[in-house]
Amino acid sequence: MKDIARDIGSRLLQGIIVLFVLITITFFLTRALPFSTFQDEKAVPDHVMEMLEEIHGHDKPLYTQYFMCLKNLATGNLGTSIKLMEGREVSEILSQAFPVSLVLGLVAMAFAISIGIPAGVLSAMRKNTRVDYIIMTFALLGICLPNFVIGPLLAELFGVQLSWLPVAGWGFTQPSTWILPAITLGLISAAYLSRLTRAGMLETLNQDFIRTARAKGQKESTIVIRHALRGGLIPSVAYLGPAFAATISGSVVVESIFQIPGIGGIFINAIQTKDETLIMGPVVLYGTLIITANFLVDLIQLWLNPRLRSHSKS
Amino acid sequence: MVSVTVLKSSSAIILIGSILLLASCKQKSMVERANEDKIMLVGNSAEPKGLDSQLISGVPESKVLTSLFEGLCGDHPSEDNTMVEGAAKSWEHNESLTEWTFHLQPDAKWSDGKPVTTEDFIFSYHRILNPQLAAAYAPMLHAIKNAKAYNEDQRGFILCGLDENFPVEWDKLSEINFQGDPKVDIDDLKNRDFEKLNLEEKRKLIAGRGLDRLDKTPLEAIAADESLFAWPDKISTDIRNLVLERLISHIDQGEPDLYDKAQVGIVAPDPHTLHISLREPVPYLPAMTRHTSWFPVPKHVVLKHGKMTDRFTEWSELGNIVGNGPFKLKAWRFNHYIEVERNPHYWDAENVELNGIRFFPILNFYTESRAFLAGQLHTAYSLPPELLEWAKENHPEYLRVEPYVGTRYIRFNTRRPGLDNLKVRKALSLALDREELCKYIFEGYKPATALTPKVGNYTPPDILEYDLDKAKALLVEAGYPNGEGLPRYKILTTKINPSVEAVQAAFKELGIGMDVELKTFGPYVSAQQAGDYDISMAGWIGDYPDPTTFLDMWTRGNGNNNTGWSSTEYEALLREAAQQSDPDKRVALLAKAEKILLDDAPIAPIAWYTRLYLHRPEVKGWHPLLLDNHPWKHITLEVEK
């Protein structure tokens, strides 16, 4: 037990160090952007510029600003936006945008899993048949076609031509607004999942215990579901974690195509306007999320696999 | 043999299919439902930064704000140069156009029911001009007497020049360096401790900042050692000490607000009469009051949520914001939509037709076009130019192509070798075939014959031409035949697109090969403001319907000039025009000034903007307007049965 506690402690410490490094790099990279936060398309008079710098503490030395930033973050204060939505609490902005990104990511992953895994299984069961070829062709297409091509095509077809679904906007109570963006976002994961599942299933289906099960005369469906699926899904499950993180944080393009009020668009605009606090907010949020997720996965693996525990080395 | 997994995947497909079907059962499009509810759905490009009319500067913000607030004069639904009553019922001016009186609507109320009075207007103009607020658009009010001095915190002028008891007149005092010398670079001295600077650095810092911008320590240092500051000889030691004494005592008092001492030219004899004194004749003052920077803000609400000078407090957020316009804020979901609804307290509420407006911040104009065609918007913000031909053919009923007060132009950095030569700049400008460029590249745009488009009673001079032979001859005269001997220039832009490539190709015709330098918007702006570029692709949208919105920026030291060019003759003409109260003589002077600008060619205008957008025919009361400010209260949605 002591060892496990030490393991957990060390992982936790690692997580905090990673977060600290992430914040530090973000802080200094942001400050290195070659323009001023307070500049405008129309020239800002010098006295206005100086006043703005003073208001937002930019007249202080860089290290002072850095320690201020660390201090605020340590107390859970993300600060207020200084440019893009000046005066608004960053936490208020994120609390509106994050649930959207999260729901979109979840629906996209649900779509990817419900399409990708059955397709992969089916493909493996019908290896080298027409079904297999068709599924794998679609999978390859899904991987190759970027979402900025798929998205507008889907929107044009289902939105403009058929008028089945809205082409832009978002409503938590209107699932019809989720469908096109979630499919666009989830398609690439679905494609990867089907290929990974197919490969995993094929490997498992060739193993001795499957042959034994078949020899015992079990039904094919029982063999696939009860015996093969567990082993066959291992590569897909390993892929799901990072894929999910990438899906909720990487929906910038899809947000733009379907006018989704998520975090991606805010993050990009914050960088383009050098809104330092509003850049730091999403970085800290996603950083914390991914570190926490990895920490939890580590814990689960420690629990599942005794060989990973440090005392087993000795 | 049907496996369970097959069932699973087919059930997923059925599920999705049924959702699609369910969605398709909703027969009516969003626009059709909105027509019934009398709600207009508007594509508004970007998420507003905020709704404090005195702190924002963008077009998307101004679209929302014109529904929530109203300036002294209102926008006419179809005439660019006709003013209609707004917050003011009537107004008059003296013959020289320098003294204006506005009579407020007697029954005007804020959306919380409190009366709108001149107190609010005085508070608003005081606030936006307050140097502590650092409002970027405060210069829009600089035409008001002494407003500029107050806004720029010109302490010497306010504390000494405006004081009748001060022994020396301002004419003489103004030779003192109060404002700082922009040519002295003090960037590396600003943040250092004054006491630790050496004598030379102290002199430099003081000269660069000027007396108005100095803290107590350097001011006292000057009092102790006159050699630190370049005093004009005419100013006696007594006067010098008196000036320093006033500046120091102002700091000792904790730098109180100088508004009253500055005698800014706004007074209110009663709650419904507003007098505005201007420093010069401004025939277009009523048109200016339609700009967001001239909108009133509710004094009682602003002060409830903070001090006058606090930036972006909660007063302008949902639940708190109170306006004097035809609508009031109903909902605000970041990056999703902003909705406004009828303001029952509006003085002209009975003539407002719409029940509400919903603004969608759709930055991606392809998405916006799809949303429009799918029946999600009444009016779109912008149509991508490459879709113009397609829209002409397929949706002529939706397409709108309207003139807009804006110009696309090329900016030359006249401090660069080669570009400092007038003949080279002229040659480059002559190489631009504006007709062809507008026909194939800037689709829908009009070829520019000058910088300023037709606006008000100003007809732009017909100066710019395309003449390749003349251009080549000029290059030979300049000593760069076929561009030989010129450095390789870079064209700065934010987008690699056909327009920059076409300009590149046009210059290539002269034998001058150029590179394209791509920067994102922030670095693009800062590179120009720092003079760190050769040639840039630029654009300018007018703020008010008068040529000065295009011409004033090319003066010396103006933060938007960035070309390194200036002309005393040009500035003299602008000043003369500013003092001229006869409208025809005034525009003639401005045209003369514009000719000097174009003859010296620090810029090469290419095309005048056109607004290209999709718009539904059931929207009535929406007419082409140069400034594109369609008064929301006149709009109706009429579906033809």
> What pLDDT does residue A224 have?
82
Residue with tokens 């094919």: A220
| Interface membership of A48 toward B (CB under 8 Å) | yes
B254-259 LR contacts (CB < 8 Å, sep 24+)? B257/B130, B257/B132, B258/B150, B258/B153, B258/B155, B258/B158, B258/B159, B259/B126, B259/B129, B259/B130, B259/B150
- A184: closest CA among A125, A118, A256? A256
* Mean pLDDT confidence for B595-604: 95
- Report chain B's mean pLDDT, rounded to a whole number: 91
DSSP conformation letters of B36-102:
HHTEEEEE-SS--S-S-TTT---HHHHHHHHHH---SEE--SS-SS--EESSEEEEEE-TTS-EEEE
Q: Report how far apart, in Å, the C-alpha atoms of B551 and of each of B229, B574, B594 are.
A: 35, 8, 7
- Chain B environment of A84 (Cβ under 8 Å): 47, 49
Give the chain B residue nearest A50 (alpha carbons): B134
Give residue B48's pLDDT band: very low, low, confident or very high (50, 70, 90).
Answer: very high
- A181: closest CA among A115, A100, A239, A242? A100
> What pLDDT does residue B386 have?
83
The pair of three-digit structure tokens given for residue A45, joined into one six-digit string: 């008079």
- Report chain A's mean pLDDT, rounded to a whole number: 86
> What pLDDT does residue A305 have?
64
Residue with tokens 């060739």: A206
Q: Is the pLDDT of residue B20 over 60?
A: no
Q: What is the interface size between A and B, counted as CB pairs within 8 Å?
A: 184
> What pLDDT does residue A232 have?
81
Could you give the residue ranges of the DSSP H alpha helices within B365-489? Answer: 365-373, 388-394, 422-430, 434-440, 468-478
| Interface membership of B494 toward A (CB under 8 Å) | no
First vs last Cα of chain B: how many Å apart? 57
Higher pLDDT, B251 or A214: B251
The pair of three-digit structure tokens given for residue B26, joined into one six-digit string: 């909703």
Could you give the residue ranges of the DSSP H alpha helices within B161-198? Answer: 170-173
> What pLDDT does residue B7 have?
40
Between CA B206 and CA B213 the distance in angstroms is 9
3-class DSSP state for residue B607?
strand
For residue A32, count CB atoms less than 10 angstroms from its CB and return exposed for 0-12, middle for 13-18, buried for 19 or more.
exposed
Closest chain A C-alpha to B1 CA, distance in angstroms = 9
Closest chain A C-alpha to B207 CA, distance in angstroms = 15
Between CA B63 and CA B176 the distance in angstroms is 44
pLDDT tens sequence across A252-265: 889 989 999 999 88
* Mean pLDDT confidence for A14-37: 93
> What pLDDT does residue B18 have?
52
> What pLDDT does residue A310 have?
57
| Nearest by CB: B363 against A164, A220, A256 | A256
Phi-psi label, residue A154: left if phi above 0, alpha if psi -120 to 50, beta otherwise: alpha
Residue with tokens 């004598």: B199
Residue with tokens 């939509």: B337
Strands B515-518 and B356-360: unpaired
* Mean pLDDT confidence for A229-241: 79
pLDDT tens sequence across B407-419: 999 999 999 999 9
Q: Is the pLDDT of residue B369 over 70?
A: yes
Give residue A304's pLDDT band: very low, low, confident or very high (50, 70, 90).
Answer: low
Give residue A173's pLDDT band: very low, low, confident or very high (50, 70, 90).
Answer: confident
pLDDT tens sequence across B187-236: 788 778 888 888 899 999 999 999 998 999 999 999 999 889 999 998 99
> What pLDDT does residue B9 have?
47
Q: Is the pLDDT of residue B519 over 70?
A: yes
* Mean pLDDT confidence for B147-160: 94
Q: Is the pLDDT of residue A312 over 70?
A: no
Contact B535, B417 (CB under 8 A): no
Between CA B308 and CA A254 the distance in angstroms is 42
Strands B337-342 and B356-360: antiparallel
pLDDT tens sequence across B451-500: 999 988 898 889 999 999 999 999 999 999 999 999 999 999 998 888 99
Side-chain half-sphere exposure of A156, counting CA atoms within 13 A: 7
Q: Report how far apart, in Å, the C-alpha atoms of B73 and of each of A51, A136, B11, B66, B292 are.
A: 32, 66, 63, 12, 11
Helix (H) or strand (E) holding B409: strand B399-412
| Nearest by CB: B335 against A224, A266, A274 | A266
pLDDT tens sequence across A69-113: 999 999 989 999 998 888 889 999 999 999 999 999 999 999 999
Strands B535-541 and B399-412: antiparallel
Between CA A216 and CA A220 the distance in angstroms is 11
Between CA B319 and CA B568 the distance in angstroms is 52
Q: Report how far apart, in Å, the C-alpha atoms of B495 and of each of A41, A185, B434, B498 are.
A: 16, 27, 20, 9
DSSP conformation letters of A80-95:
B-SSTTTTSBHHHHHH
| Interface membership of B213 toward A (CB under 8 Å) | yes
* Mean pLDDT confidence for B11-27: 51
Please report, rounded to a whole number, the percentage of residues in chain B having pLDDT higher than 70.
Answer: 96
Contact B522, A35 (CB under 8 A): yes
Q: Which of B45, B213, B313, B335 to mutate to test the interface with A (most CBs of A within 10 A)?
A: B335
Q: Report how far apart, in Å, the C-alpha atoms of B254 and of each of B91, B152, B248 are.
A: 39, 18, 10
Between CA B349 and CA B355 the distance in angstroms is 11
| Interface membership of B364 toward A (CB under 8 Å) | yes
Residue with tokens 């082993």: A231
Q: Is the pLDDT of residue B1 over 50?
A: no
Please report, rounded to a whole number, the percentage of residues in chain B having pLDDT higher than 90.
Answer: 75
3-class DSSP state for residue A80?
strand
Report residue B213 CA to chain centroid gap: 27
> What pLDDT does residue B3 have?
40
Provide the 8-state DSSP code for B114.
Answer: P
> What pLDDT does residue A311 have?
55
Close Cβ partners of B164 (under 8 Å, ≥ 6 residues apart): none
pLDDT tens sequence across A107-149: 999 999 999 999 999 998 888 899 999 999 999 988 898 888 9
A residues 165-224 near B, CB within 8 Å? 165-170, 175-176, 179, 220-221, 224
Residue with tokens 């009444």: B378
| Interface membership of A15 toward B (CB under 8 Å) | no
- Which pTM value belongs to this model? 0.88
A residues 230-269 near B, CB within 8 Å? 256-259, 261-262, 265-266, 269
Residue with tokens 């007419």: B623
Between CA B60 and CA A261 the distance in angstroms is 17
